Amino acid sequence: MSKIVIDARELRTSTGRYVERLIYYLQQIDGKHDYIVLLIPKDMDSWEPTNPKFSKLACPHKEFTFDEQIAYKRQLDSLKADLVFFPMVQQPVWYRGKVVTTMQDLTTVRFRNPTKNPVIFTIKQAIYKWVNKRVARKSQAIITPTEFVKEDVVSYTGIKPDKVTVTYESADTIADKPESVPELENVQFIMYVGRPLPHKNLPRLIEAFKKLKATYPDLKLVLAGKKDAAYDQIEAVVNAQGTPDVMFTGFVSEGQLRWMYEHCGAYVFPSLSEGFGLPGLEAMLHGAPVASSNATCLPEVYGDAVHYFDPVNIDDMAQKIGDILGTPELRHKLIVAGTEQAAKYSWKRMAEQTLAVYEQVLNK
């Protein structure tokens, strides 16, 4: 029996689904080890363990701060864990205990954020690059969500391939009943859901949409996701150019999201860089035909279940989306293949594989 600490500071964030699903299934499959789940103080009341071997502890140390490097390290030292698991790169880089780290991708290493102060962002990005290399080398084991990310991490950090284990992630069925979006009822639309960061490539999607309007004049483009500074910038450009029928929904409920998946003409994923590509898989799971970028890991995850395009070629993007809208046979084929492809992935299997990595490190 060993004491395992799991850093779950991002449990309730937009990127927290991975660690939330991991903890959920670890509680089902592991009755051997003792676990301490570290939560930020405001999340302490929203999560309760279902397995008596699991407990929770407040961790008030924010990511990417000196406090994380000093006070958080002190907290970890006091816990005397046999193993600490970090589902993200940000962590006390001088912690000396056994560590397993998941590196989801290297996107932040390569792309800038135009909403941030450029000088400050450049400095932070340089530090982040160093942290990625330091963490990869000091961790006893690294987990990645795809073979593509494994190869990328090995190349970037110089670690040995046998130090990295791939554990594919999964998508969840939305339990809420479909809830219609009145503005989209009886309307043909294509959609994207998620954050509007530069690597998501939304400006090119908007340009491809303009080309599609020549053939489909009533078509709408729905960009769903919580409004932020990046979305405000994109919306300002759309308004300044007078581009019609681009709908920025802001936050949508789970029921509304399910309804949109079930009624869209196509879900479009134009990303330039992904670690796994969860949104496209979620769209497939709910019956949406998917047109996707062929960049990075996406062909590995999506297989033959989507219609691929070159994400930097606007004409190709427009053509491939148009293929789905104008070819019922292709649309039906993608819906069937997408449902089958999404079913290949399992959060429980991911948790089992992760536990196997823990065991391997603990037994060294």
**Domains of the chain and CATH, by start:** 3-170+346-362 (3.40.50.2000), 182-342 (3.40.50.2000)
Task: Specify whether the CB–CB gap between 190 and 288 falls below 8 A.
Answer: no
> What are the structure tokens assigned to 182, written together?
């009145």
Residue 120 contacts by C-beta under 8 Å, 6 or more apart in sequence?
A: none
> What are the structure tokens assigned to 103, written together?
């590196």
Residue position matching structure tokens 């963490």: 135
Q: How far apart are CA 18 and CA 180, in angstroms?
A: 28
Question: What is the pairing mode between strands 54-58 and 83-86?
Answer: unpaired
Name the DSSP class of 65: S
CA-wise closest residue to 139 among 46, 264, 7: 7
pLDDT value, residue 111: 85
CA-wise closest residue to 90 among 137, 128, 60, 139: 128
pLDDT value, residue 118: 85
pTM score: 0.94
CA-wise closest residue to 62 among 74, 52, 71, 53: 71
Scanning the chain, the segments in alpha helix (DSSP H) are 17-29, 66-67, 73-79, 107-110, 118-138, 147-157, 202-212, 229-241, 254-263, 278-285, 298-302, 314-326, 328-342, 347-362
Q: How far apart are CA 223 and CA 201, in angstroms?
A: 12
Q: How far apart are CA 14 and CA 292, in angstroms?
A: 21
Q: How far apart are CA 1 and CA 140, in angstroms?
A: 19
Whether the CA torsion 266, 267, 273, 275 is positive or negative: it is negative
Residue 174 contacts by C-beta under 8 Å, 6 or more apart in sequence?
A: 254, 255, 257, 258, 286
Q: How far apart are CA 104 and CA 112, in angstroms?
A: 17
Give pLDDT < 50 ranges for the chain. Answer: none
> What are the structure tokens assigned to 64, written together?
């990417």
CB-count burial class (<10 Å; 0-12, 13-18, 19+) for 123: exposed
Q: How far apart are CA 191 and CA 180, in angstroms?
A: 15
Task: Specify whether the CB–CB gap between 310 and 263 falls below 8 A.
Answer: no
Residue type, 175: A
CB-count burial class (<10 Å; 0-12, 13-18, 19+) for 277: buried
